[in-house]
Amino acid sequence: MSVLPLQKGSNAERSRFRNRQAVLGQVRAAGAVGRAEIARALSLTTQTVSNIIAELKQDGMLLEKGTLSAGRGLPAMQYALNPEGGYALGIEVRPDAVFAALLDMAGRAVTTERVALRGSAPQLVLAELAAAYGRALDAVPQARARMLGAGIVMPGPFGVTGITGLGSDLDGWQAVDAEALFAEAIGLPVVLSNDANAAAMAERISGVASEIPTFAYLYFGAGLGLGLVHRGELVGGAHGNAGEIGHIPLPGGGRLEDALSRLSVQRHMAKAGRPARDIEALERLYTAQDAALLDWLDAAALALEHALSVVENIFDPQTVVLGGAMPETILDHLVQTARLPERSVSNRPDARHPRLMRGASGRMTATQGAAALVLHRALGAPLSQLG
């Protein structure tokens, strides 16, 4: 077992919260670790670490995992995260539904729910969100006193911008303070993000990018989003709208998400007389090698090649991850058939990772990613240096 070198801690009392976060991050990264190793990694005194560990044990966030003998001296007590020591709420708001998930501190979903919406106006969404949170707490009563916060994801862009009139828009949300409304409705600290950023952070915490600090995540929501992670941290932009890649024009006309998104394939299949309203229907069509779906995949692979050229040459990622609310089979097909651009800064002989990888898929990808944003904030100290 090794302890990762991290951002340094501080013995100053004013940095108590930061030091707690750093200790939790060290424990998460190591799985189980002793106080002396934590102190060395964070440049804190052993006494400071001992005090923080005592607090975290009292709060129920750490467990003793037995002793480990390391040469001379007494065997050192090892500490690990208590999965039930904290919980994070993840909420995804779509135009037609609210998805909710409650994750424990190990990142496991302990409750999930989908609630259909009668409309996307703020008052309707907030009422359904508060009710879903209440049901989650009823199902996991011990979470009431141990909530770390809520991650809320919505399709972007945020605020009034030049990008409007899309099928994925949430009417009535562009000119309101969404973060404040959500926090008031559920009484928790809120992290607000778009769905692509949330899914990207979920991959960083427990997915294919867990050991890749700089990567791009192409996300299939209703449209096409892009999450950018640089040295373990999200790149949000000035107003949280970095990564609106779906609106980039295609060389032959139209936009990327006109050819590469869930709405795109659903519209294509509807015109072919074979509606595919959900992921399961798309999975069945792919298994049957439906000709219309294969035609869409051919066009989508060309659009993906254009997206890769843009993302690689602008962002210089270690890899691009493809994931989101699509069947694994379709994502795998695109990963296997899209040609990687030759004229790219990512086309290099010393690359440590594949240039294109398939990440998590399914309807709850962004929802669980929303909760992962909260876990990253609570346990995120080591992630900026992992990999």
DSSP string covering 22-89: HHHHHHHHHSSB-HHHHHHHHT--HHHHHHHHHHHHHTT-EEEEEEE--SSSSPEEEEEE-GGG-EEE
| Same domain, residue pair 195 and 131 | yes
pLDDT at residue number 205 = 79
| Same domain, residue pair 77 and 95 | no
Residue 5 tokens read as 């070198």
Q: How many residues make up the chain in this entry?
A: 387
Given 81, 108, 142, the domain boundary residue is 81
What residue numbers bound the domain in which 165 lies?
86-200+367-382
- pLDDT classification of 70: cutoffs 50, 70, 90: low
pLDDT at residue number 238 = 80
| Same domain, residue pair 43 and 172 | no
Q: Tell me: the pLDDT tens digits for 194-246? A: 888 888 988 987 789 988 999 999 999 888 999 999 998 888 888 777 788 99
pLDDT at 146 over 90: yes
Average pLDDT over residues 39-59: 92
Average pLDDT, the chain: 87
Point out the least confidently predicted range of 122-131, 275-284, 375-384.
Answer: 375-384
pLDDT at 69 over 80: no
Q: How far apart are CA 208 and CA 205, in angstroms?
A: 9
| Same domain, residue pair 76 and 130 | no
Cα–chain center distance at 29? 18
Classify residue 2: in a domain, yes or no.
no
Classify residue 120: in a domain, yes or no.
yes
pLDDT at 156 over 70: no
CATH number at 72 reads: 1.10.10.10
| Same domain, residue pair 180 and 305 | no
Q: Tell me: the pLDDT tens digits for 285-320? A: 999 999 999 999 999 999 999 999 999 999 999 999
If one counts the domains in the chain, the total is 3
- pLDDT classification of 160: cutoffs 50, 70, 90: very low
| Same domain, residue pair 160 and 145 | yes
Point out the least confidently predicted range of 3-12, 18-27, 363-372.
Answer: 3-12
Given 59, 81, 103, the domain boundary residue is 81
pLDDT at 10 over 80: no
| Same domain, residue pair 155 and 212 | no
pLDDT at 168 over 80: no
pLDDT at 34 over 70: yes
pLDDT at residue number 378 = 84
pLDDT at residue number 175 = 77
What angle in degrees, to the nearest 10, is found between the helix axes of 262-271 and 291-315? 160
| Same domain, residue pair 212 and 349 | yes
Classify residue 90: in a domain, yes or no.
yes
**Between these two residues, 382 and 85, which has the higher pLDDT value?**
85
- pLDDT classification of 72: cutoffs 50, 70, 90: low
Classify residue 124: in a domain, yes or no.
yes
| Same domain, residue pair 93 and 74 | no
Let me know: does 55 contact 20? Beta carbons within 8 Å: yes
Q: Tell me: the pLDDT tens digits for 187-201? A: 999 999 888 888 898
| Same domain, residue pair 234 and 178 | no
pTM of the entire predicted model: 0.78
| Same domain, residue pair 244 and 119 | no
Classify residue 242: in a domain, yes or no.
yes
CB atoms within 10 A of CB 80: 17
Q: How far apart are CA 144 and CA 166, in angstroms?
A: 38
CATH number at 141 reads: 3.30.420.40
| Same domain, residue pair 215 and 331 | yes
Classify residue 1: in a domain, yes or no.
no
Classify residue 112: in a domain, yes or no.
yes
Given 61, 81, 101, the domain boundary residue is 81
Of 9-13, 166-170, 218-222, 263-267, highest mean pLDDT: 263-267
Classify residue 282: in a domain, yes or no.
yes
